[in-house]
Chain A
Amino acid sequence: MTVLKATMDLHESYVDDRRERISEPLCMPPTAAEPTTSINLAQTLFQPSEFDESLEEQLAQSISSCDRRHPTVSTEIPNIFPHEHDKNFLILTSAGKPIYAMKDSDSTIGYMGVINTIMSYFRLKEGQDLRCIENDDVRFAFLDREPIVLVAYSARGETSNELFSQLDFLHSYLLSSLSERKLSKIFSKRQNFDLRNFLESTDFENLNEICSLLCERFYPDTLLGALRSLSMRKSHRAQLHEAMSQQLNKEAYLPRGMLLYGLIVAPDNKLCSVLRPKGHTLHTTDLHLLFCLIFHRFQNLDDSQELWVPICFPKFNANGFLYGYIKFLSKGNSILVLISAQKDAFFNLKSFADHLIKDITSSGLLEEIHKSKGFKISDIPAPLVHHFIYKSKKHVQYVMPELEFHSDINPKEAMELERKFMNYYQQIHNSVIRDDGLSFNKSCLNFIKWESDADEPSEEPIAMLGLGWITPKFELYLLCNNGVEDKHVIFESAKKIISWCRKHESRLFVNEGAIF
């Protein structure tokens, strides 16, 4: 089996490596499960010139351990992950009543009973909450958010922290729909309340959608805790923010404080521009929820209708509802969202939106948003790199080259491709992040390698190399073409990507936004 082989190869090569570097002050607990060669950087800032010397030295060590076969470089990367990874999410009440299961079956209710019993046992006997159970490749994560309990089961190798953040996302969804206040009100009256009777069909559809995003799609947003941003020319973004500010200043219909936030969001959940009060930002999770809701629920809407949607932003205020004015700027394209705390602010916000849209349409800015197509890996002089994700910590945003699909790809293949990317990036990310979600060091650089001989002579042997690089300013996750083994070249490419991203920072990221 290809994949099994790959994993075994991994373990062997890395064990050797660790032995070599045993004298180094490793800042991570050396667990056998981490298939990495690790290089830790003392620098806290990115300073390319100083960087090179010390890193070069360390690199030389790890590179010498690689045997150099004739490299075969391919533009297509192989899928080394089994198709049927086992994973499930279960949601139940603290009293043990089922609420939701991603993969529902006859035995689900039984499982929930068992889960409830185990959790209660730990609480009573050990006086603390059960958080995690690990058994070989399988991991259970438990998140107790009284009166709701969430459980993840996975054989896909996520860190506990990643599973917790996925569970938190599902919990946040429930809060966004119901609010904490409502939830505790229901359960304070009756602890054994069956929440399924209170949830609407749309809630289950939304939970399905979120689970599918987390498990089946290339959706690094929760993994990275960041928003994807739309790249557009600096001057255009500035004009857009200027237009938003100006409109706010001259809008007589809009009493102060009525508008809390304004956002323009492009398809694929890409943030385009922000209008916000000084000193306030919305939490990333809240925005993830909002974007999921918009692009899932409203994807077949067009610009003929405007929506007025109550939503609780759990990280902003889990007890209250905010109201979102949502308008598509054209069918299936970007949207304008205006958020207010007042439930009857619709017409005021509508008036603001009408004027703003008229303004940015006549000045051609709307056209510029729609024209923005992102960038391709070939736009950056980074040899042998297949794809990367660059996250700017300051902006809490990330960018990546557009995935380039064949034009004749069918939806199923596209989804497989997305999942393959997600799997690679999860493993790269996990190689530089501890199980609790913190990085091993302030700065940390890691190569990770997947290897396997071809099963058939006609197939290409798998030799995939990835790089994870974390500093206080940025995170870079990088995936090489199949067959690439030269870590020097990859390191140079990584530096080029970083310079490129920093050089184009104001084009790639939404900086301050329009502040009022």
Chain B
Amino acid sequence: MLQFKLVLLGDSSVGKSSIVHRFVKDSFDEFRESTIGAAFLSQTIKIEDKGSQQEVVIKFEIWDTAGQERYKSLAPMYYRNANAALVVYDVTQQDSLAKAQGWVNELKTKVGEDDLVICLVGNKLDLCSGEEENSSKPKAVESSEAEGYASEQGLLFHEVSAKTGEGVRQVFQSIGEKLYESKKHELAASKGRHGVGETGNVQLQRPSTNDATSCCS
């Protein structure tokens, strides 16, 4: 089994926790409390090796971080060793895309790993589906705009609804496939050794500097 570390980033209340919950538990909670700090979850998926047609099991270890400004300085701890990052915005909030772009820039400059897979995800698609006319909100971020930005930056791009579940699984599926493709050769080389998933099974063990730093300094 391969293990990959994945981190969710994005503005507060764009639905990061809801996406994770949909992926891990396949359920949705209308009144989810804001995340404080970060939550750690895991989930496995199966993908198909395109060459050998064999099934490969991938385990995601997921850091669902708080979107609130106050916890921003803690974020490096979560994305530092990540193999993939899900940068989420709310399709009904233009601001949230700008915040997402900020995260993408930060990841590109701060994460050394060239293979880091970044996926831009627009959430709350259900709000502008138009099926319920009354509750329908205008779509503030056009798909073409976000998609254009994503391809420019070399990101994966998806629009989803954590509420209905639309597109959520595909996000993780495509990340898994992309990670598998890029790691396949490394994996083959290290096959003899134990710990195929070493790349993903990272321990956060760098020495801590001190305990007095506040999370919001």
Q: How long is the Cα–Cα vector from A307 to B64 in the complex, in angstroms?
A: 9
Task: Please state if B36 and A309 are interface contacts (CB–CB under 8 Å).
Answer: yes
Task: Please state if B74 and A350 are interface contacts (CB–CB under 8 Å).
Answer: no
A181 within 8 A of B: yes
Q: How long is the Cα–Cα vector from A406 to B214 in the complex, in angstroms?
A: 47
| CB-CB under 8 A for A342 and B34, given A304-B41, A305-B41, A347-B203 | no
How many B residues touch the partner, as a band?
A: 20 to 34
A365 within 8 A of B: no
B215 within 8 A of A: yes
Q: How long is the Cα–Cα vector from A200 to B216 in the complex, in angstroms?
A: 12
Which of these, A182, A202, A344, contacts B205 with CB under 8 Å? A344
Stretch with Cβ within 8 A of B (4 or more), from A108-116, A319-327, A376-384, A482-490:
A319-327
Write out the residue numbers on chain A whose beta carbons fall within 8 Å of the beta carbon of B68.
200, 202
Task: Please state if A306 and B74 are interface contacts (CB–CB under 8 Å).
Answer: no
Task: Please state if A307 and B40 are interface contacts (CB–CB under 8 Å).
Answer: yes
Task: Please state if B33 and A310 are interface contacts (CB–CB under 8 Å).
Answer: no
Which of these, B34, B71, B214, contacts A182 with CB under 8 Å? B214
B25 within 8 A of A: yes
A283 within 8 A of B: no
Q: How long is the Cα–Cα vector from A181 to B208 in the complex, in angstroms?
A: 20
Q: How long is the Cα–Cα vector from A318 to B132 in the complex, in angstroms?
A: 50
The B contact surface, by secondary structure, is loop
For window 37-63 of chain A, which residues contact chain B by CB distance below 8 Å?
none
A238 within 8 A of B: no
A300 within 8 A of B: yes
Task: Please state if B214 and A321 are interface contacts (CB–CB under 8 Å).
Answer: yes
Write out the residue numbers on chain A whose beta carbons fall within 8 Å of the beta carbon of B25.
304
Task: Please state if B212 and A320 are interface contacts (CB–CB under 8 Å).
Answer: yes
| CB-CB under 8 A for A350 and B216, given A310-B74, A342-B211 | no
A345 within 8 A of B: yes
Q: How long is the Cα–Cα vector from A205 to B213 in the complex, in angstroms?
A: 25
Write out the residue numbers on chain A whose beta carbons fall within 8 Å of the beta carbon of B34.
200-202, 205
Nearest neighbor of B24 in chain A, beta-carbon distance: A304
Q: How long is the Cα–Cα vector from A308 to B203 in the complex, in angstroms?
A: 15
Nearest neighbor of B20 in chain A, beta-carbon distance: A305
Q: How many residues of A contact B (CB 8 A)?
A: 35
B165 within 8 A of A: no
Write out the residue numbers on chain A whose beta carbons fall within 8 Å of the beta carbon of B179.
none
Task: Please state if A341 and B211 are interface contacts (CB–CB under 8 Å).
Answer: yes
B37 within 8 A of A: yes
Task: Please state if A307 and B216 are interface contacts (CB–CB under 8 Å).
Answer: no
Which of these, A200, A297, A306, A344, contacts B77 with CB under 8 Å? A344
Write out the residue numbers on chain A whose beta carbons fall within 8 Å of the beta carbon of B212.
181, 319-321
Write out the residue numbers on chain A whose beta carbons fall within 8 Å of the beta carbon of B38.
307-309
For window 290-305 of chain A, which residues contact chain B by CB distance below 8 Å?
293, 297-298, 300, 304-305
A501 within 8 A of B: no
| CB-CB under 8 A for A343 and B74, given A200-B34, A350-B40 | yes
B113 within 8 A of A: no
For window 319-366 of chain A, which residues contact chain B by CB distance below 8 Å?
319-324, 341-348, 350
Write out the residue numbers on chain B whose beta carbons fall within 8 Å of the beta carbon of A323.
37
Task: Please state if A320 and B40 are interface contacts (CB–CB under 8 Å).
Answer: no
A479 within 8 A of B: no
B204 within 8 A of A: yes
For window 146-192 of chain A, which residues contact chain B by CB distance below 8 Å?
178-179, 181-182
Write out the residue numbers on chain A whose beta carbons fall within 8 Å of the beta carbon of B214.
179, 181-182, 310, 312, 320-321
Write out the residue numbers on chain A whose beta carbons fall within 8 Å of the beta carbon of B24.
304-305
Task: Please state if B33 and A346 are interface contacts (CB–CB under 8 Å).
Answer: no
Task: Please state if A182 and B216 are interface contacts (CB–CB under 8 Å).
Answer: yes
CB distance from A464 to the nearest CB of B (A): 39
User: Which residues from chain B sit less than 8 Å from chain A, CB to CB?
Assistant: 12, 24-25, 29, 32-34, 36-41, 64, 68-71, 74, 77, 203-206, 208, 211-217
15 contacts between A and B (CB under 8 A): A178-B216, A200-B34, A202-B34, A202-B68, A293-B36, A297-B33, A297-B36, A298-B33, A310-B214, A319-B212, A322-B211, A323-B37, A344-B205, A346-B40, A347-B205
Supply 20 further A-B pairs (C-beta < 8 A) apart from A202-B33, A309-B36, A341-B211.
Answer: A179-B216, A181-B212, A200-B34, A201-B34, A205-B34, A297-B33, A305-B39, A305-B40, A305-B41, A306-B39, A308-B38, A309-B38, A321-B211, A321-B214, A342-B208, A343-B208, A345-B208, A347-B204, A347-B205, A350-B40
